[in-house]
Amino acid sequence: MESNVFARIRGSLIEQHQNLTHWLTITPPRKRAVRLGPIGEEAVHAHLQVLDTAIAKAADQTLGECQVCHLTIEPDRLAMDYTCCVCLDHYSPAEREQLEAELEMTTKVQQALLPQHAPTIAGLDLAAYSRPADIVSGDYFDFFQFQDAAHGLVIGDVAGHGMSASLLMASLQASLRTLVADHTAPAEVVRRLNLLFCHTIHLTKFVTLFVGRFDAQRRTLTYCNAGHNPPLLFRGKANGHAPFTWLRPTGAAIGLVEEFQFRAAQVELKPGDALLLYTDGVTEAINAQAEEFGEARLLDLLGETATWPAQEMARALRQRLGEFTRGQPPADDLTFVACKITH
């Protein structure tokens, strides 16, 4: 691995160590006993020792070195578990079988977590597509209802891809679903989600997230964009204004800064408008000449298809991406949600 990768992992491990040590210092003994339950403080101190060892190995760039062949362990496995010390090549048949079974279960769980069908929403036509770069994905999209019956549209992207990103994505979805049961403002949902992740999960990866709230009666979309690729809004009737609007970030990505004031923005929607939410796997799709698909091609495509039903818009984007990459292996997870305002 490159030295900057070791430095990033070491910084993350040091932060975990400091957070855990600080918690032990400031938390009263009785409260510590309740929080730790049967594992006890001995397990916490043992974990701190494991962190110390990992920090030292990251400093001398031996973290992730296989104890059998001395080659570098698969980076994605290391991101999941920095205590890994043996390459997959040296697993026994039984260990490989167990790992494959766990991976298969993770894949099934992730597929079950993502919406299987777009919901029926008055005035809003929806279609979605998601394709992982590996067996599992770190991309996330979802549809839900806030407690006041307004409709939620979400798309997110965990930095990287593979198993570690997919596990974090699953945690993100569960946390978000819990928060929207009590809060109706997208900015407040994102703020609480950021605090939750900073305090309890201690991310080694950041998460970009777009949370939108669609009010069907007022035909408005209130949103908070936490460092995510700006969704593209096409105006069916521009009335002298630019036909395209990028819904740019209103806050930082989840997990970067603990205390951050996330802002909301709002756009009024009209029949004939089209909106495309997407992850960077779309704009950063690579062709054989190492060119990226880019925002310009995305803008051109939406200009051509904005009057079509959402399902046809989504099909056209999939086809255009396939023609552009022409069989090139995906470098990243790819997800998008096409939305059409119907009435």
Residue 168, both tokens: 């974090």
Residue 302 predicted with pLDDT over 80: yes
Lowest mean pLDDT: which of 19-33, 64-78, 223-237? 64-78
327 vs 40 pLDDT, higher one: 327
Distance CA 153, CA 216 (A): 13
pLDDT band at residue 148, thresholds of 50, 70 and 90? confident
What are the sequence ranges of the domains in the chain? 3-93, 108-341
Residue 251, both tokens: 């806050």
% of the chain surpassing 70 pLDDT:
69
Q: In angstroms, how far apart are the furthest CA atoms of the chain?
A: 68
pLDDT single digits (tens) 234-288: 998 766 566 899 999 998 888 766 667 789 999 999 999 999 999 999 999 999 8
Distance CA 286, CA 294 (A): 9
Residue 259, both tokens: 């205390």
Indicate the class that CATH gives domain 108-341. alpha beta
How is domain 3-93 classified at the architecture level of CATH?
Up-down Bundle (1.20)
pLDDT of residue 93: 77
pLDDT of residue 314: 96
Q: What is the mean pLDDT of residues 65-93?
A: 63
Most confident region among 48-62, 77-91, 102-116 by mean pLDDT: 48-62
Q: How far is CA 231 from CA 153, 235, 302, 328, in A?
A: 12, 13, 11, 25
CA 184, distance to chain mean position in Å, is: 21
Strand 232-234 to 244-246 pairing: antiparallel
Tell me the DSSP string of 142-170: EEEE-TTS-EEEEEEEESS-SHHHHHHHH
